[in-house]
Structure 1
Amino acid sequence: MTKNQTTGRTSADTYALIALLDLADNLPGAGELRARSYELLGLAPGAAVVDVGCGSGRAAAELAERGARAFGIDPDERMIGVAGGRWPGADFRVATADALPFDDGELLGYRADKVFHVLADPARAVEEARRVLAPGGRIVLVGQDWDTIVIDSGDAALTRAIVHARADLVASPRVVRRSRNLLLDAGFGDVTVEVHTWVSTDATMVPVLADLAGKARAAGAISDAQAEGWLAEQRERGRLGRLFLALPMFVTAATRR
């Protein structure tokens, strides 16, 4: 199975990720969080904006629907193919966060949602964002802290082990704690930080919990029996409407000076 040279994903990986992104996009509160990120961009009609790590393209399409000249960027050509097929109203291109296909100062908006945690060098991406933004342009970064996924379980120690093992597989799992300082270091001003917490109490998030447990098991942090037992408990909680998962999402915004 062919892997993407930049992301290391196979086609199966890409389509599994699309399924998770689609799930996340439709969670209660997800639409409101996207809308808040668009509001923080403060774009006038016709302003050029990029959604970096656009995935299957929903945010770029929604920005275009709001009157922006929207671009979606992703390093996975399969992802870009899906985005272009779903949302023909935006311009989708294959590129990476540290090498954007725009001239200096070409854009007035830059958005990245659940992206910076996968980057080995988020500071480099921030510098590239500053390059492509015109003075007065806005940057908005949305993301989670991978150590602060809150899950109720009868085995708190095992749950911590699963969450932390999954975090250890992420390139920059705690980048949201650094995002404000990264923007300040790059010369951005008017830096603000907000937190919006998603809470799920039914079976909707069981696929996400299965992914957490599966990744922890694959990393050797927990046994097959531990993963299966923990996930069985979460499935039962979901069936009974007694599941509890809380995911704080941090929104860091700033202005290009």
Structure 2
Amino acid sequence: MLGTQDPQAHLFAVTLPNDGNTPLVLLGVTPETLPIRHGDRLRLKPLAGSAPGRRAEVRRVLRPGGRLVMAEPDWDSLAIDHPDLGVSRAYTRHLTDRIVRNAVVGRQLQRLALQAGFAVTSVAPATSVFRDVHAADQVLGLQRNTERAVAAGYLTDRQADCRLDHLAKGPFFAAVTLYIVTAETPVTNSAP
């Protein structure tokens, strides 16, 4: 990985050649500030939810054969074990309908990369599994989003109370799938 994820802002990490030796890694830059077709690799967050112009800028920065790695969750795949499957599904539906801006972006990455002119070289799913409710709450906002689901009409007060009681007392399991897409800028062969 070329950098760490900052959930509050876009993260751009680009690897540029450095005198033919060790590549130079730049973090916190934007594609607009980089030279044309100099990047070997680029990782950024978020890409897919961005405007098509952002993807074009990324392609502009990468040299022919340069590599782009994107990773995004598919929040529709969120599965939380609960005795009442309907409550679990309503919670996930609330997240995907109201909380996450593009909840299915993970499954769209390949198509978006192809539409931007990249050659997709691999798509790999990675499932994040949570068995500790406190760790999951840090990522999923279980308490906060359960309350929001009640306010939005996805859950009743009784369902929310039962859900939160189960989360506090019972064994916990949740999983969500992240899709990792690797793509490259096409190499053009110019014949003399």
Fold shared per TM-score above 0.5: yes
Aligned residues of 2:12 and 2:42 also touching (Cα < 8 A): no
Match of 1:103 among 35, 55, 80: 35
State yes or no: 1:196 paired with 2:126.
yes
Shift of 1:125: 2.8
Aligned residues of 1:112 and 1:141 also touching (Cα < 8 A): yes
Shift of 1:108: 1.9
Match of 2:102 among 165, 172, 191: 172
Greater gyration radius: 2
**Is there any run of 5+ residues in structure 1 with no aligned partner, and where?**
1-37, 39-48, 73-91
Cα distance between partner residues in 2 of 1:171 and 1:244: 24
Shift of 1:192: 1.1
Shift of 1:157: 0.7
Deviations 1:19-59 (A, max 9, x none): xxxxxxxxxxxxxxxxxxx3xxxxxxxxxx7x6964489x9
State yes or no: 1:70 paired with 2:70.
no
**Is there any run of 5+ residues in structure 2 with no aligned partner, and where?**
16-21, 187-192
Letter in 1 for 2:165: A
Match of 1:247 among 173, 176, 180: 176
Shift of 1:244: 0.8
Query: Between Structure 1 and Structure 2, how many residues are aligned?
Result: 174
Letter in 1 for 2:112: L
Distance 1:112 1:236, change over 3 A: farther
Letter in 2 for 1:212: N
Letter in 1 for 2:101: A
Aligned residues of 2:150 and 2:160 also touching (Cα < 8 A): yes
Shift of 1:210: 2.5
Cα distance between partner residues in 1 of 2:137 and 2:87: 17
Aligned partner of residue 58 in structure 2, secondary structure: helix
Runs of 4 or more off by more than 4 Å in structure 1? none
Cα distance between partner residues in 2 of 1:110 and 1:200: 29
Distance 1:69 1:228, change over 3 A: farther
Deviations 1:124-153 (A, max 9, x none): 332221122111111111111111101100
Which of the two has greater strand per residue? 2
Shift of 1:194: 0.3
Which of the two has greater helix per residue? 1
Match of 1:183 among 110, 113, 117: 113
TM norm structure 1 = 0.58
Distance 1:219 1:53, change over 3 A: farther
Aligned residues of 2:67 and 2:182 also touching (Cα < 8 A): yes
Cα distance between partner residues in 1 of 2:47 and 2:185: 18
TM norm structure 2 = 0.74
